[in-house]
Structure 1
Amino acid sequence: MSSHSHEAGKEHVCWGGGGCAHTHHHRLEVVDLSVQYQEVRALEKISFATECGRSMALIGPNGAGKSTLLKSLAGLIPGDSGKILWRGRPLTRSSHELAYLPQRGDVDWNFPITVRGLVEMGRYPNLGWWRQYSKHDAEIVERALASMSLLDLQDRQISALSGGQQQRAFIARALAQEAHVLLLDEPFTGLDKPAQENLSRLFKELTAEGRLLIASHHDLQTVSGNFDDILLIRRHQIAFGPVTEAFTEGNIATAYNGELRTAN
């Protein structure tokens, strides 16, 4: 299969953003999703629909089910009931078109791997059991490293990176995976202000290229500047919609049970 035909199914994602004309936007739809953890109901009847080219914040207190929802969308945790539809089809297992990026605190940064090695891991879901790592794979890895300004750091151990560089390395891995959807668990946490601003700019570039970003987020003061849509949950769904409509004081008070707090 030629590189051109390999890319043909992904024409709505346009690396480099800018003037790309998107002929269609793939849709992610969640219908009445509930998730049970042993005896605990972690999520109850969550429903929303969004599409590539947008960014969505998951908002709610600790224990609200934000991480559970991200892992369910990634195919890492099975739903109890309800369904997840990606491009009109049930998402019953992990898909290389959706990439999950864990909280930085959940990553073993001392694992002996270079930045390039980490990004190359993004190609594994595309390789399957039989196909060997090819020139095409190497070109995509190179492109992902360049997109995240990591070429100068590609031989560095991931433990030697700053927090912002670590986030960029994981995003580069998702780009190498050719993921349409990035599922990020608290991506801004632990970053200094310049790194947060850089990540915010990156998010806007990634959505302009036709990707869908869904991220759990705890700093209520920065929601409006970073996201198009918002899903407020407290195990059950409180509100979903554009930030300009759903991000209201009443909805926030309900999500946090009247205990409004902003984390910096």
Structure 2
Amino acid sequence: MVMSDGSIKQIVDQDVESPISIQEWDLSLESWGPDESVNDVNPTISKKTTVLFNHVATGTTWDQLPATTEQLKQLEVNSMADVSGIGTYSATFTLSEDWNINNGAYFNFAKNENDEVVEVTINGNVIHNIDTFATSVDLSHYLVAGENTISVKVDSTITNRFNATHQSADRTTHGLMSTVVTPYQDTMLITHAEQPEDPSSTPSQGEQGSSSQGSDYTGNTDSVKTGDVVPIAGIATVLAAAVSTVIVTRKKK
């Protein structure tokens, strides 16, 4: 790490766990469709029917789900390509036994362009206010050593069910396309600032003219000054104080 005064500081990072690819999920799919019993009065009300699919491979779109004849009848559709609604994906993954508060992890995902990830729950803790344009969520505060449980709620558009009801052939695809938990580690660095000049040790203006030293006080040129800019990838936070600079670096594989 090169400081602004040209000095070089060495950082020794701890090993970071490798990314964990979640290959399989259990999927609870809540299908939304017309409700003939009330739609004559209120067409905005949808009939909601939930079906379960176990061991769904990541990257499987909803139209590829192996629905049984009974499930299609339950959903009141001819095929899974006609389904719109909300899918809740659940899975587990394992972190090392030495996992601690200095470690964190992102949940990185890819989805179809017609979907929105609206909620992520980790070990029973719901992460609200998900940025629907983002493709990652920080899980850090809720992770534990050993087994962790995650669920992801995906909203689709109503396009497929609407088009199926109105005899249109247009369809959109839905589902999680890739899912990876990427661990990282925060490392805090504290660099001491240059100490303020002691007025009692500085010659007065008159004394400077007759001083045998013949030079101004310059202080210790080897110290690192507050405000040094550190060009290192992954810096998350820089907190400047009167006597030190705190730098947090984030490392991931």
- Report TM bin, short chain: under 0.3
Q: Name the one with the larger strand percent.
A: 2
Task: Please report the TM-score for the alignment, with normalisation by the length of structure 1.
Answer: 0.23
Q: Name the one with the larger helix percent.
A: 1
Relative contact order (alpha carbons < 8 A, sep ≥ 6): 1 or 2 greater?
1
